[in-house]
Amino acid sequence: DIQMTQSPASLSASLGETVSIECLASEGISNDLAWYQQKSGKSPQLLIYAASRLQDGVPSRFSGSGSGTRYSLKISGMQPEDEADYFCQQSYKYPWTFGGGTKLELK
């Protein structure tokens, strides 16, 4: 199985700060990567697919980048509503696998 290692496990950001979350795949995944946001007690929501494509309705402060085995999610200007858990997910090879998650809190 492809292992997805996400970092950091948690971070705290101030209002307006730019935040970056990393995901490292155990092998190349050819941009077959998605990012999800999960707020407390809610279902996950798709933010980014195909590594860098913004899902409809997602604010433009969210962006994705990367290639090969290294991918990142950037939030340009932390907002209170961005406080959540974030997960990456590869769809290059079955079984689809998720990163362990990053808990983002507002400082």
What phi, psi does 81 have (nearest 5°)?
Answer: -75, -5
Which of the residues 53 through 92 are near other proteins (CB under 8 A)?
55, 87, 89, 91
Cα–Cα distance, 75 to 29 (Å, whole number): 23
For position 8 contacting other proteins by CB under 8 A, the verdict is no
Give the N- to C-terminal CA distance of the chain in Å, as an integer: 36
Question: Residue from 25, 36, 73, 82 that binds other proteins (CB under 8 A)?
Answer: 36
Residues near other proteins (CB under 8 A): 1, 32, 34, 36, 43-46, 49, 55, 87, 89, 91, 94-101
